[in-house]
A and B are shown apart, each in its own frame.
Chain A
Amino acid sequence: MTSAPGYNFAYLDEQTKRMIRRAILKAVAIPGYQVPFGSREMPLPYGWGTGGIQVTAAVIGPEDRLKVIDQGADDTTNAVSIRRFFARTAGVATTERTAAATVIQTRHRIPETPLSEGQILVYQVPIPEPLRWLEPRETETRKMHALADYGAMHVKLYEDIARFGRIATTYDYPVLVNGRYLMRPSPIPKFDNPKMNMNPALQLFGAGREKRIYAVPPYTPVKSLDFEDHPFEIQSWDQACALCGGTDSFLDEVVTDDRGGRIYVCSDTHHCATRRDAVQEAAE
């Protein structure tokens, strides 16, 4: 195990790690509640994953194997930058294989490959407060959570239905955790919301700039808000992935020319590559 000279293992000093670890334990004990923590300035900008990085730095050890994705991909610039940060400061092993990772840090996606017990999924969260667009004041939203007063969110969603005939929220779709706390799942597409429910992995959420940590323990009910006459539904595509032919994963649209040409490809790069390999193997 090697770490960058002059810096502690995983960059943070031990006192900071203990503070974050205490916050994580409380977050796990109060599923969906946002625990305030003394977030530090990191060498990456606020808004670029500092919350996720601090959570990962407090959790990770030499026995871990880390996967980092952004938009589902292992090779987007920010994912590369964060993976490198940990390879440099903690000397941990990294992987692109979802099943081989013990800790997965993510921005905006949950991997398509189902997670298993013992894995930890760390989300980077820009705005942790699900009620923030409805009520900008922290003092007010804190009271609303204390009273479990989530009527405003239901009204907002119902207004969508009245106006558009459907709920017009497509990502960062609000969920209720274990029937008590309203939670923002971070800007994952609502396509991923059902994966949060009763997931065998531990899900940790870090918001660095907003200085909050929250969690969903394994096997915890996570319900996307909806109405009896307008049940929650996820996105679907008429197309298949142009690379692997899959029809059951989240697809990104890629513009191929300026005459309206479009193809669709899997957003989860590892999932796509795995399926292409399988198809190729079967053909051989």
Chain B
Amino acid sequence: MTMKMAMDTGADALLPGLGDPVIDSQRVFRAVLDAMARPGTLHELPQAVAGSVGAPAPFEAATAAVVLALADQETPVWLDPSADCAAVRQHLRFHCGCPLTGNAAAAVFAVVADPGAMPPLSAFDQGSDEFPDRSTTVIVQVPALTGGAPLELAGPGIRDRVRFAPGGLPAGFRRWVADNHAGFPRGVDLILTSGARLAALPRSTRLEG
């Protein structure tokens, strides 16, 4: 199967995946886990991963690494229009074998590379009251994880409060995050990436102020 894909795509230069798929996946996962466990805090991909992972445009290193570490045949992935290009599709199909879906509400992972034009969080799978885990994890690649409109975060994973100011997000973003939390236990979980860094905003996080 791998051979067939390699032949199909052989004409174009295929970018590498994770340098050491076993160990790098573990390292990327730990960065994401740490981010999810401490919402709003910034986490850096290990140097070895950031330096070796192939990132087809418009993906940056952290976006590519997170998808490769977590997605596979069992997880339909939705790409926003800016990411839905031949290079990205080919990269994900080859390295993750994940099915791509055009239906945001059916995606296990969604990747947004153009946050300014992103759909509202309610467009994704919210899970159900019985199975709230069956909801989309939305990966949003932003121009910067600092310097944007500040959000005051509180909730599990946060001792007192955390200030988080990702940039490049649409005006309605703050509202979407508040609504997403209000629907708890249903809701989506966000992983924000930029360059080789990432942070997370799980549904359990509430906005203060």
Could you list which residues of chain A lie within 8 angstroms of chain B, going by C-beta atoms? Answer: 8-9, 14-15, 17-19, 21-31, 33, 35-36, 58-62, 118, 142-143, 145-147, 178, 180-181, 198, 200, 202, 216-220
Contacts and interface: CB of A to CB of B under 8 A. Distances in A.
13 contacts: A9-B26, A22-B108, A26-B135, A27-B133, A28-B202, A30-B202, A33-B132, A35-B133, A61-B30, A216-B156, A217-B38, A218-B159, A219-B159
Nearest to B39: A217
Contacts, number: 111
Contact of A18 (B25, B36, B137): B25
B82 interface: no
Contacts of A36: 131, 133
A217 B34 CA distance: 10
Given A19-B74, A28-B36, 15 more contacts: A15-B72, A18-B71, A21-B29, A22-B75, A26-B133, A26-B137, A29-B189, A29-B203, A29-B204, A30-B184, A30-B185, A30-B202, A58-B29, A216-B156, A217-B38
Contacts of B73: 15
A61 B27 contact: yes
A146 B130 contact: yes
Contacts of A118: 34
A33 B133 contact: yes
A178 to B, nearest CB: 5
B33 A31 contact: no
Nearest to B73: A15
A180 B23 contact: no
Contact of B155 (A15, A178, A202): A178
Contact of B132 (A30, A143, A198): A30
Contacts of B152: none
A28 B70 contact: no
A92 to B, nearest CB: 11
Contacts of B36: 25, 28-29, 217
Interface size of B as a range: 35 or more
A147 B132 CA distance: 12
A178 B156 contact: yes
Chain B at the A interface: mostly helix, strand, loop or mixed? loop
A17 B70 CA distance: 9
B189 A25 contact: yes
Interface in B131-171: 131-133, 135, 137, 155-159
Contact of B37 (A18, A145, A217): A217
A9 B23 contact: yes
Given A14-B22, A61-B26, A180-B184, A28 B33 contact: yes
B69 interface: yes
Given A9-B22, A17-B25, A220-B156, A25 B137 contact: yes
B116 interface: no
Contacts of B158: 219
A218 B157 contact: yes
A58 B37 CA distance: 16
Contacts of A35: 133
Interface string B73-84: 111000000000
Contacts of B27: 61
B26 A217 contact: no
A19 B128 CA distance: 20
A17 B29 CA distance: 10
A30 B128 CA distance: 12
A24 B185 contact: no
A40 B184 CA distance: 30
Nearest to A181: B185
